[in-house]
A and B are shown apart, each in its own frame.
Chain A
């Protein structure tokens, strides 16, 4: 009798561990797998006719053009505050001549791709998830299928493509504006010599750094569009479901961007230093 109770206790513990650890892990793997399936379908339908330019242009306008202002604004202030911090930190070692170079490296490699992607995920990613989610619950996505228009081809493929094309362009803008903001603060306010600022930046920052940032921005752009489309596409259960999907799209995009950032950086650095 007591043995029986003990055994059952052990079994219950196994079940509890399974519920706590294995199930969430399995469902996470499943979710990642479903994202990959959607990506696969989006690529498949990219290769099938017709290519609808107008859907791509609309998505690029939404993701890219409409993000110009907010990306510029954030780029400007990130550059400015970074220059402020760097000048104050580097001055302690008497190396404020390297403000421009350090700012340039940080912007091109990390700040521009990550900040730009996060801004776009919050703005356009949330927008896309809401739009597709509402289309799902009002059967507009089914309606597309009934008219022999593949919804992945019509809705998802152009958005992922637009993310891939527009986010690196926005990251370039972020670089330029951030550098300008940093220059303003370092040179005009903190009194760093402008020749030294520019010369060191030009000397240290090279094409490899720029490429690293742009490659990352490209991947993040595709990633955030994929996550947002997935959440919108799979929304269910009315207005509340759309809200949940949107929240998940933003949170999921942020996590995707930051996790990918680490591994991509690792891979790129290894490749560049070979």
Chain B
């Protein structure tokens, strides 16, 4: 396959079946380098499954996944760890280690992968990172002792602390009120601007998708049915996409009254 430098991740024809459930039915996806790429789709359409394929947490039954031109499907767990270091992931429910404090959570990747750093340096890096995300005086607390929104930011700090090239967000705004949603949107956009990281966001929130996306891909019934810039998406003739966008009520498709 011809490598296109514009895309950091390229996926061709991946299929995945769980038991009798055919979740992905030949997904083609391009993830643009340094941009905010959003994958939208309804519940149970396999968005999370697709995301888990991006960094090799799941292996497809069929198809290829190129990350920076390297097909990661044939790699074993040991080799995949090298690829995974390019990624950071922010989980829907944060997935913080509840037996560790906030500081220990954010320091965890540093202890694992930056063994040359002293404890002092790690501490300072962690505090800096937390502060840059608006978190102060929480480092000694346990995840259970802080709010959901704060946990989300701690999870993001943990994902960012190794300075990944690609950042994955699993449903970052689900369950948040409109103001918190806007804050998370701004955060994603700021991080993207400041660090130049490639962002991949899974979402079913149309309003926030159109607010921040550089590129939108719509997943339906195990396939990408439309993809392009937000403007391209708005003029798309795909029936499902039209219905999905209009049902969400947040943006109007062009050409409709």
Residues of A whose CB lies within 8 Å of any CB of B are 48, 134-135, 138-140, 142-143, 145-150
Contacts and interface: CB of A to CB of B under 8 A. Distances in A.
Interface string B86-126: 01110111011110000000001100110000000000000
Nearest to B109: A147
Given A140-B98, A143-B91, A147-B108, 20 more contacts: A139-B91, A139-B92, A139-B93, A139-B95, A140-B96, A140-B97, A142-B91, A143-B89, A143-B96, A143-B97, A146-B88, A146-B159, A147-B112, A147-B113, A147-B158, A148-B82, A148-B84, A148-B112, A150-B78, A150-B81
A138 B109 contact: no
B188 interface: no
A150 B93 contact: no
A140 B84 CA distance: 16
A138 B155 CA distance: 13
Which 3 residue pairs across A and B have the least CB separation, nearest first?
A139-B95, A143-B95, A146-B89
Interface of B: 52, 55, 57, 77-78, 81-82, 84-85, 87-89, 91-93, 95-98, 108-109, 112-113, 158-159, 162, 168
11 contacts: A48-B78, A134-B98, A139-B93, A139-B95, A140-B97, A146-B89, A146-B168, A147-B84, A147-B109, A148-B81, A148-B113
Nearest to A150: B77
A144 to B, nearest CB: 9
Nearest to A147: B109
Given A143-B89, A146-B55, A146-B87, A138 B81 contact: no
Nearest to A48: B78
A145 B93 contact: no
B57 A145 contact: yes
Given A48-B78, A140-B95, A140-B97, A148 B85 contact: yes
A147 B52 CA distance: 13
A135 B159 CA distance: 18
B149 to A, nearest CB: 17
Nearest to A135: B97
Contacts of A148: 81-82, 84-85, 112-113
Contacts of B52: 142
B54 to A, nearest CB: 10
Most chain-A Cβ atoms within 10 A of its Cβ — which of B57, B87, B95, B98? B95
A217 B92 CA distance: 43
Contacts of A135: 97
A145 B54 CA distance: 13
Contacts of A150: 77-78, 81
Contacts of B87: 146
A31 to B, nearest CB: 17
Contacts of B95: 138-140, 142-143
A142 B91 CA distance: 9
Contacts of B57: 142, 145-146
Contacts of A146: 55, 57, 84, 87-89, 159, 168
Nearest to A131: B99
A134 B159 CA distance: 21
A194 B85 CA distance: 67
Contacts of B93: 138-139
A48 B76 CA distance: 13
Contacts of A143: 89, 91, 95-97
Contacts of A138: 93, 95, 98
A150 B168 CA distance: 19
B202 to A, nearest CB: 14
A168 B77 CA distance: 33
Nearest to A52: B112
A185 B159 CA distance: 61
Nearest to B77: A150
A135 B100 CA distance: 12
Contacts of A134: 98
A183 B221 CA distance: 73
A146 B96 CA distance: 12
A140 B98 CA distance: 9
A145 B109 CA distance: 11
